[in-house]
Amino acid sequence: MTPPATNTLPLRRDHFALAAELSARFTAESLVRVDEPLAKRTTLRVGGPADLLVEPASEADLAATLRFCTEQGLPHCLIGRGSNLLVRDGGVRGAVISLGHLSFAQLTVEGERLHCGAGLKLKHIANEARRHALAGLEFLEGIPGSLGGALRMNAGAMGGWMFDVVESVRFMDPSGAVHERDRAAIEVSYRCCPLLCAHVALGAVLHGTPGDRTAIEERMSGYNLKRWASQPAASSAGCIFKNPAAIPAGRLIDELGLKGTRVGGAKVSLEHGNFIVNDGGATSADVLALIEVVRRRALVERGIALATEVEIIGEDAGATAKSA
């Protein structure tokens, strides 16, 4: 996600003018929406609107969008499928860019390599690997996100990590120039790829290992069963906290007796302590307050400072009212 610019945002009455000017720079297939609700674009189903929601239809239009934001001093960020995202109730100032167009979701398989666009669902990638009898990507099946977000976060599940299967990454810098870098030259860590914090992932070449299709299907089925048995079905953003070195966050929260703890419509899941669910009518403020309840208890009672894994963007509702 691109860090927000420090420039002052134009007043709300200028959003339509900005949208019109941006639309004039790219093809008819690309979309710009004003005051677009973001809650419906996140799996937690909370949060306010984006001043501008941009859906470029090509890499050229994405480059035009990034250059426009730079010229206008407009803050901007990217969102994927919203599965690791918490949007504050006041919404997001500036432009929110979504690579939801089909042009960013292309996939071709060449031997043991899968050439994947950043907009692809991870589930689709896992299924294509299975269809071509390529093992090693089964863990992607149950991660409810896109490849671009998984690359930026170095997502992991069931003992597998995104960059374990990456051979190279294509990305765009803020000027709109496209680059490609081999995995060996990309720094990654737990839940982070610094390169993609300031650049936009366009896609990656993933590598599988020839295997038995039946065995691959069985592993995917087993992962799926394990996930549904241990994770809530209610709306959530996935794991809220990163795992501390000493103990998994879910186990810590369970030991603290915090399962079922509630603030407004937000509740710590009874199925998995590291999930906060929208139990009906939750606001982002509810979720943020509950996060602080958990963090405070963990620090006071166990001396553990929990860091959030979920991406938190936007402004509180009061801040928006002051700036409007």
pLDDT digits (tens, 9 = 90+) for 249-276: 999 999 999 999 999 999 999 999 999 9
What is the rounded average pLDDT for all residues in the chain?
Answer: 92
Give residue 138's pLDDT band: very low, low, confident or very high (50, 70, 90). Answer: very high
Q: How many residues does the chain have?
A: 324
The full DSSP string for 182-218 is EGGG---BTTB-GGGGSSEEEEEEEE-EE--HHHHHH
Helix (H, G, I), strand (E, B) or coil at 46: coil
Q: By percentage, how much of the chain surpasses pLDDT 90? A: 82
The boundaries of every CATH 3.30.465.10 domain in the chain are 104-215
Query: What do you get for the CA distance between the two ends of the chain, in Å?
Result: 25
Give whichever of 138-147, 218-227, 273-282 has the largest mean pLDDT. 273-282
Q: Tell me: the pLDDT tens digits for 28-74? A: 999 999 999 999 999 999 999 999 999 999 999 999 999 999 999 99
Query: What pTM value is reported for the model?
Result: 0.88
8-state DSSP, 314 = S
Range 104-215 has CATH code 3.30.465.10: yes
Structure confidence by residue, pLDDT tens digits, 81-100: 888 999 999 999 999 999 99
Alpha-carbon dihedral sign for residues 23, 28, 30, 36 = positive
Strand partners, 34: 52
Q: What are phi and psi of 309, to 5 degrees?
A: -90, -35
Distance, in Å, from the CA atom of 232 to the CA atom of 185, rounded to the nearest integer, reads 37
CATH assignment of 241-308?
3.90.78.10
Give the closest residue to 79 by CA, choosing from 138, 153, 8: 153
- For residue 294, is pLDDT > 60? yes
The token pair that represents 75 in the structure block: 């803050």
Cβ neighbours, 10 Å, residue 59: 18
Q: Which residues contact 113 (CB under 8 A, 6 or more apart)?
A: 167, 205, 206, 207, 208
**pLDDT reported for residue 90:** 97
Place of tokens 């402004």: 315
Q: Kindly report the CA angle at 154 between 105 and 138, in degrees rounded to 5?
A: 65
Residue 275: phi and psi, rounded to 5, are -115, 135
| CATH 3.30.43.10 domain span(s) along the chain | 12-102
Q: How far apart are CA 253 and CA 262, in angstroms?
A: 13
pLDDT of 324 > 50? The answer is no
User: What's the CA gap between 102 and 113, in Å, rounded?
Assistant: 21
In angstroms, the CA 118 to CA 110 distance is 18
Query: What gap in Å lies between CA 156 and CA 143, rounded to an integer?
Result: 8
pLDDT, greater one: 156 or 275: 275
Would you place residue 319 in the very low, low, confident or very high pLDDT band (cuts 50, 70, 90)?
A: low
Contacts of 229 (CB under 8 A, 6+ apart): none
Instruction: Give the model's pLDDT for residue 13.
Output: 53
The dihedral through the CA atoms of 124, 108, 180, 163 has a sign that is positive
Assign domain 12-102 one CATH number from 3.30.420.40, 1.10.10.10, 3.30.43.10, 1.10.287.3510.
3.30.43.10
Q: What does the pLDDT read at residue 209?
A: 97
Domain with CATH 3.90.78.10 in the chain: 241-308
- How confident is the model over 302-314, as a mean pLDDT? 96
173-to-12, 65, 162, 183 alpha-carbon distances in Å: 28, 12, 21, 17
